[in-house]
Amino acid sequence: MGHGHSHGVTPQAAPTRGRIRRMTLALGIIAAFLVLEVIVALAVDSLALLADAGHMLTDVAGLSMGLAALVLAHRGSRKPGRTFGWHRAEVLTAMVNAVLLLGVAAWVFYEAIERIGDPPEVPGVALMITAAAGLAANLVAMFLIRGDASGSLAVRGAYLEVLADAVGSVGVLVAGVLLTVFDWTYADVVVGVLISLWVLPRALSLAAASLRILTQASPAHVDVDAVRADLESLPGVDGVHDLHVWTLTTGMDVATAHLTSDDDPNGVLQRARVVLDTHGLSHATVQVENAAVGRRCAREVTW
């Protein structure tokens, strides 16, 4: 988000409303196609379609998260008790998405093993038609949100997701051609496994990134030791304790720190803020304590 320290609503309400409309439309198109693809996959018993549908689910989640982020940014205001708003909803969605993707991949692998030696007759024409429709859905969704991708991180993530999924549709299309033209019955199983293998690392990294945020680990791009060392070496600072760095949701890093100092607290605070800013931690809460208070606090505040 990188909104620095301005806590107000950004004055971009009008363009955001258009973005929300286009994202909703893209989400509707992709979700409708997901339902169609699952129905066809089960009807014709196709692993390639099932694997691609699993991937399509990532698009739906990606678009939903992007949409949620836009709506949250658009509203700005929130209930008094929800001091962090609903920003973590994005992380929860990502986690659920990762678990579902891993589940679909496991199912495809299991089915693929079952089908060795006895691949079912999957109609290639049905695969080609469904894949072509999927590709069209992806292209329309891409066209809708392409213009907004440069202005919003949330839309950009969703756009890349849809772009990547077009590859899955092409894979199913190829399987359909191999089945129809060359009558190669294993095409469906092979493409299904290939799509799942391609999705697997991304599902795992999505799960890892979500887990990192949910367990309040410090973001990978922040060197906490360096932050501590820089704060400790500030003029007038005698000690640092209760240093915490965590991520609220993607792109929103938060920090707290207690500094022991007998210098002018305002000067120490200013210098500490500059140091934290250089580490990308502009959303920080810093407390300056004199020697007596600091010693006691460091003893009592142990987590």
Give yes or no for a contact between 146 and 155, defined as CB atoms under 8 angstroms apart. Answer: no
Residue owning tokens 């305002």: 266
Looking at the Cβ atoms of 141 and 240, the one nearer to Zn ion is 240
How many chain residues interact with Zn ion (CB under 5 A)? Answer: 2
- Nearer Cβ to Zn ion (181/292): 292
Look at residues 40, 82, 2, 81 and name the one whose alpha carbon lies nearest to residue 252. 2
Task: Quickly list DSSP for 243-267.
Answer: EEEEEEETTEEEEEEEEE-SS-HHH
Q: Which helix (H) or strand (E) holds 189?
A: helix 187-214
Distance of closest approach, residue 284 Cβ to Zn ion, in angstroms = 15
Q: Is 297 in the site for Zn ion (CB under 5 A)?
A: yes
Q: CB of 266: closest distance to Zn ion in angstroms?
A: 17
Cα dihedral value 100, 102, 104, 107, nearest 10 = -140
Among the candidate windows 51-59, 156-164, 173-181, 295-303, which touches Zn ion by CB under 5 A? 295-303
User: Mask 248-267, x = binds Zn ion (CB under 5 A)?
Assistant: ----------x---------
Whose Cβ is closer to Zn ion: residue 211's or residue 297's?
297
Between 111 and 242, name the residue whose CB sits nearer to Zn ion: 242
Stretch that binds Zn ion, among 53-61, 65-73, 147-155, 291-299 (CB under 5 A): 291-299
Q: Of the two residues 283 and 295, which places its CB atom closer to Zn ion in the complex?
A: 295
269 near Zn ion, rule: CB under 5 A = no
Alpha carbon separation from 214 to 10, 124, 249 (Å, rounded): 27, 43, 9
> If you count them, how many residues does the chain have?
303
Please state the closest distance from residue 267 (CB atom) to Zn ion, in A. Answer: 18
Spatial CB neighbours of 88, under 8 Å, sequence gap ≥ 6: 213, 248, 249
- Residue 240 interacting with Zn ion (CB under 5 A): no
Rounded to a whole number of angstroms, the minimum distance from the CB of residue 237 to Zn ion is: 13
Distances in Å between the alpha carbon of 282 and those of 17, 45, 218, 234, 243? 28, 53, 15, 17, 14
By CB under 5 A, the residues from 50 to 89 that bind Zn ion are: none
- The kind and range of the H/E element at 286 are strand 284-289
Q: Note the residues at the interface with Zn ion (CB under 5 A).
A: 258, 297
